[in-house]
Structure 1
Amino acid sequence: MKFKTTYRYFFLLLLFCYIFNSCTEPYILETNTYEEALVVEATITNELKKQEITLTKTSRFEDKETQIESGAKVSITDNTGTRYDFKEESGKYISTTEFQAIPGKEYRLNINTNDGRTFESSVEKLTNINPMQNVTATVEPKDSLRGVAIRVHSFDPNNQSKYYRYEYEETYKIVTPKWSPTKAILNNNGTVSFVPNRTDIKICYASKKSTEMLLENTNILNEDRVNFLVRFISDQNYIITTRYSILVKQYVESLAAFNYYKTLKKISSSGSILSPTQPGILLGNIKAVSNPNSKIIGYFDVASVSTERIYFNYNDLFPNEPAPPYYTDCVEFCYANCFTFPVGQCPCTHDDKPGVQEDLAIDAVRYFIENGRTFWVYTPCGDCTTFASNVKPPFWID
């Protein structure tokens, strides 16, 4: 899971809570005082792969982009003396070789920043390995809504896992409802011509990763058994109209890591800097070595992980039911001078006006012609590449 937004929100709360505690008038939110801190997102797992670590800086309130901590030297060492080096690539630090966390071994994260600061984590061990049993999708009600409940089922007969964190990435197929075999082209003289339309704009795919911190624990239960609602999708959400897939990851966490994420979630979901729940200092397991005053936020997590992907079609769960509405209005419309028609008999919903041809050529596509009049729909209704990708994901199964 990506925690950049959460960490940024937490640090801003820390800076501003005392400023706004008694404000009663509108105030332009700008940073008058700013103290930079290193933000670390580091989870290594028992998957054999190139592990990833992200280093960023806390942001000012008015900053629009997250600043990457570039030029750092990052490594992980284990208790056998093996060292795993990381190389900076595309805003992340990627291990130069594939490796996996092994049960019984101890791991420590080391960071040396470009400006001479040094940080290290406490020694961490891999948590108990307990794969998910399965992921299911069923029709259920939730908060007066009907929809698809995606649940994770897990069980540890030895009662040793207890603390879980979840992430998901959902991918869905989009079929444009109003694709047309022709499209409009605006000519230099202001007229509109119709040419054959592309066929690769009818079907697209979109993906989105979870942003909420999803935590579950079985510590107070008689059994270490999980039945966790990881995602709920309304039956009116267009993302399940055709075919939907979700990849779920389950991390088994240590008690210390779970408490850290739980506190971070509580802070980030407080909803307001005026909340009575004001943030304190969130201590992780990484500390400054060379300069004790250097600020750092983050946690070095060594967690076992298991993954599962499922697919379903809308008709699988809602047979013979109408599909959810498309994400935007796709009602056909046309332009005409309605003064030439008897009252109430104008076949078009839009009055003719200057610039109509230019607007249509840019913002709409021809859908059909009837009685000599051209009817249109807005571009996303016939061209899904305006908001999604027409490249089929390599994992996708129809």
Structure 2
Amino acid sequence: MNIYKISLFLILAFAISSCTEQYVFQNTGFESALVVEGTITNELKNQTIRLSQVYELEETGPKLEKGANVFILDDKGNEYQFAEKDTVYESITPFKAEPGRKYQLKIKTSAGKNYTSDEQALTTETKIDNVTATVETVNGERGVQINVNSFDPTNSSKYYRYEYTETYKVIAPLWSPFEAFVIDVPAVPEDPREGTPGSPASENISIVRRTKQVRICFSTKKSNSIILNSTNALSEDRVHFPVRFISNQNYIISHRYTIFVKQYIQNLAAHTYYKTLKDLSSSGSILSPKQPGFFYGNIKSVENPSEKVIGFFEVSAVSSERIYFNYEDLFPREPLPPYYESDCEMKEFADCTGDPPCAAVQLRSVIRSRELIYFSGFSPYFLVKPACGDCTKFSSNIVPPFWID
């Protein structure tokens, strides 16, 4: 969701909204604010809450809020305590949101400041019927359109938010089962007593079989934008929503691809909050004439209600679905998309000294630096860029536990 990436803009928006000329920003009045990312669901699991502070333009990432006391209180007096774990606060015991119950987030920071959310109830539980992948042309570009389909016969879901995680197989096109190393051979002095001649130091090239699997890899990426949908203007609460479009020239679908889609049902307040976040984070919105300035979510300071707090605590019914497809399933007999590395041309090196095409010195240099890696040959040698023959240069050779070929 990356709320913390947007949060700095929210603090700055009202300060620069009146600027109409080019302005070099000077950070002279930075104002901190707590950022809360919290969604609990009807899944039985360890729920998570993320706390951070907005960060300045020159900083590289969010300041995580450490040492806070975080818990959720329901309308029957049950408390669900959270403990700090890595970059989030995680519930100590698994629990799930129950229909008809109300939940409230409570936070006490290490500085002794208290924050509380409005009470929230679980939204309508509407499951995804299916996720489909079809070949379509969108904005003049041919590719794969991934749609989410669901239906709420009670006509009460209305507001939807989506997240997805995609995983895809990568196959290095110029892989070799062998790799090359430069071996330093020390000089051997002449031995007159034994009558053996000496030899100068040398750099030998050794070709050995690989001990690591580097041909097939798997990459996983999560959606990083706010994806919203509403059926409020429709006569029935039926969803056929394009959650992801992938060009047929995108290498991520070259072999096998899977997407795991999660559908969150939101209430109107949560949907409005996320829609405003999305509008603010869109291109050019910070300097647009329609500036909303700072806006509040449903979390407030107990001691100082006027304090700026960014974030929204929601209790959302969620469902999920995963699909797989191969490139050839959708684009039979069509050439594969361009590979991750666009320049996979083999480079030839003659292992000799003297004028070109001799390149013994350069050959050893690129092997040592791993600027190029071995593909084939003994003299001449054929080398390629690392990513062309070793997919672990940008991906992982660990097979995901959910993967199905």
Alignment TM-score, normalising by the size of structure 2: 0.90
Task: State the aligned residue count.
Answer: 385
Is 1:330 paired with 2:338? no
What is the aligned partner in structure 2 of residue 388 from structure 1? 395
1:200-224 alpha-carbon deviations (Å, 9 max, x no partner): 1111111110011110001111111
Structure 2 CA distance, aligned partners of 1:13 and 1:333? 52
What is the aligned partner in structure 2 of residue 304 from structure 1? 317
Deviation at 1:91, TM superposition (A): 1.5
1:198-251 alpha-carbon deviations (Å, 9 max, x no partner): 341111111110011110001111111111000000001000111000000000
Structure 2 CA distance, aligned partners of 1:325 and 1:257? 41
- For structure 1, which segment, 196-205 or 381-390, has the greater mean C-alpha deviation from structure 2 after superposition? 196-205
What is the aligned partner in structure 2 of residue 357 from structure 1? 364
Structure 1 CA distance, aligned partners of 2:339 and 2:156? 46
What is the aligned partner in structure 2 of residue 102 from structure 1? 98
Structure 2 CA distance, aligned partners of 1:293 and 1:3? 21
For residue 376 of structure 2, give the secondary structure of its aligned residue in structure 1: strand
Deviation at 1:276, TM superposition (A): 2.3
What is the aligned partner in structure 2 of residue 117 from structure 1? 113
Deviation at 1:293, TM superposition (A): 4.3
Which residue of 203, 211, 230 corresponds with 1:198? 211
Aligned residue identity for 1:202: R
What is the aligned partner in structure 2 of residue 244 from structure 1? 257
1:127-173 alpha-carbon deviations (Å, 9 max, x no partner): 01110110000100011110000000011111111100000000011
Counterpart contact for 2:279–2:285, Cα < 8 Å:
no
Which residue of 165, 169, 172 corresponds with 1:169? 165
What is the aligned partner in structure 1 of residue 123 from structure 2? 127
| Amino-acid identity (%) | 47
Structure 2 CA distance, aligned partners of 1:259 and 1:244? 33
Counterpart contact for 2:2–2:225, Cα < 8 Å:
no
Structure 2 CA distance, aligned partners of 1:238 and 1:256? 39
For residue 126 of structure 2, give the secondary structure of its aligned residue in structure 1: coil
For residue 133 of structure 2, give the secondary structure of its aligned residue in structure 1: strand
Structure 1 CA distance, aligned partners of 2:307 and 2:27? 20
What is the aligned partner in structure 1 of residue 85 from structure 2? 89
Counterpart contact for 1:367–1:377, Cα < 8 Å:
yes
> Mind listing any 5+ residue stretches in structure 2 that lack a counterpart?
185-201
Write the mapping of 1:158-307 to structure 2, written as runs, cut at 5 A.
158-188=154-184, 190-271=203-284, 273-307=286-320
Alignment TM-score, normalising by the size of structure 1: 0.91
What is the aligned partner in structure 1 of residue 146 from structure 2? 150
For residue 234 of structure 2, give the secondary structure of its aligned residue in structure 1: coil
> Mind listing any 5+ residue stretches in structure 1 that lack a counterpart?
none
Structure 1 CA distance, aligned partners of 2:366 and 2:12? 43
Structure 1 CA distance, aligned partners of 2:228 and 2:92? 31
1:262-291 alpha-carbon deviations (Å, 9 max, x no partner): 111001114354322324122111111023
What is the aligned partner in structure 2 of residue 141 from structure 1? 137
Aligned residue identity for 2:124: N
- For structure 1, which segment, 271-280 or 146-155, has the greater mean C-alpha deviation from structure 2 after superposition? 271-280
Aligned residue identity for 1:330: C
Counterpart contact for 2:11–2:294, Cα < 8 Å:
no
Counterpart contact for 1:15–1:34, Cα < 8 Å:
no
Deviation at 1:354, TM superposition (A): 5.4
- For structure 1, which segment, 38-47 or 181-190, has the greater mean C-alpha deviation from structure 2 after superposition? 181-190
What is the aligned partner in structure 2 of residue 71 from structure 1? 67
What is the aligned partner in structure 2 of residue 378 from structure 1? 385
Counterpart contact for 1:44–1:302, Cα < 8 Å:
yes
- For structure 1, which segment, 291-300 or 189-198, has the greater mean C-alpha deviation from structure 2 after superposition? 189-198
Is 1:47 paired with 2:43? yes
Aligned residue identity for 2:96: Q
Deviation at 1:16, TM superposition (A): 4.3
1:42-79 alpha-carbon deviations (Å, 9 max, x no partner): 00000010000000000001101211000000000001
